[in-house]
């Protein structure tokens, strides 16, 4: 009986705050306050052609469909969601955001014909250092909602490249050229996979990963999704 009391005191002394605005959360709120949750800059184009991500990928990749959950800008307060998931070890937030995204994808019919979710892999050294792959967390969340399996061992990242953050489009493309390899092709053979990334800026990393899969003829189709699309 003492533990609930101790927990309640800890909550009073160290209250949970919204990852977006840092306001103290109410008892019924989790990760984000109600106001910030309702104001997420969602894109709502999951079942529409000619959406911003599709336009970005056109002519570069033979994909079935593509979409993102939200718009990302560095100056937006919502950038803290990605930063918190990626750099502050908030794995549950990553899963929760994946669940939110998954609910939208399911509602829109986007996931019809998708056989498996393949998160864009991190290099093993970086994943060990961070303790997780943020794209895998998002994939878990989407899988919870859609019941579509996650396959995160079929494709590996063979080179531990520099950060893309301060690179222009051409430098980003060169930085991630030929850095992925299909290690277990039987896991994705003849499947329609959803290639999932946390944030897409120029699309260079996602495109490089997709090309590595497609050039070996393992999958029947690829669709692309990301939690955020940078603007």
What domains are there in the chain, each with its CATH number? 1-39 (no CATH), 41-230 (3.40.50.2020)
pLDDT tens-digit readout, 23-70: 999 988 999 999 999 999 998 777 677 789 999 999 999 999 999 999
Retrieve residue 194's tokens.
Answer: 């959803």
pLDDT at 1 over 50: no
Residue-averaged pLDDT of the chain: 89
pTM: 0.89
Mean pLDDT of 133-146: 98
pLDDT at 11 over 60: no
Residue 43: the pLDDT is 87
Residue 6: the pLDDT is 54
Helix locations, the chain, DSSP H: 2-13, 34-38, 52-57, 79-87, 91-108, 124-130, 134-146, 169-175, 204-214
Torsion, CA 127, CA 101, CA 66, CA 173, rounded to 10: -30
Mean pLDDT of 101-122: 95
Strand duo 66-72 + 221-230: pairing: parallel
Residues 100 and 158: beta-carbon distance below 8 Å: no
């Amino acid at each position: 009986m003492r533990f609930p009391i101790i927990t309640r005191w800890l909550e009073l002394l160290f209250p949970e705050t919204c990852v977006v605005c840092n306001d103290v959360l109410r008892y019924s709120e989790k990760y984000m306050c109600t106001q910030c949750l309702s104001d997420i800059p969602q894109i709502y184009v999951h079942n529409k052609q000619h959406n911003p991500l599709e336009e970005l990928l056109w002519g570069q990749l033979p994909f079935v469909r593509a979409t993102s959950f939200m718009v990302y800008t560095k100056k937006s307060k919502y950038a803290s969601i990605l930063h918190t998931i990626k750099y502050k070890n908030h794995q549950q937030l990553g899963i929760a955001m994946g669940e939110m995204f998954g609910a939208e994808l399911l509602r829109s019919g986007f996931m019809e014909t998708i056989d498996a979710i393949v998160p864009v892999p991190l290099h093993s050294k970086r994943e060990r250092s961070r303790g997780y792959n943020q794209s895998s967390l998002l994939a878990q969340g989407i899988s919870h909602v859609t019941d579509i399996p996650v396959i995160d061992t079929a494709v590996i990242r063979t080179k531990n490249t520099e950060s893309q953050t301060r690179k222009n489009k051409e430098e980003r493309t060169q930085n991630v050229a030929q850095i992925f390899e299909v290690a277990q092709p039987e896991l994705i053979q003849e499947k329609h996979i959803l290639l999932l990334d946390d944030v897409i800026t120029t699309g260079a990393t996602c495109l490089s990963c997709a090309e590595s899969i497609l050039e070996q003829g393992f999958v029947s189709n690829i669709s692309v999704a990301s939690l955020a699309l940078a603007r």
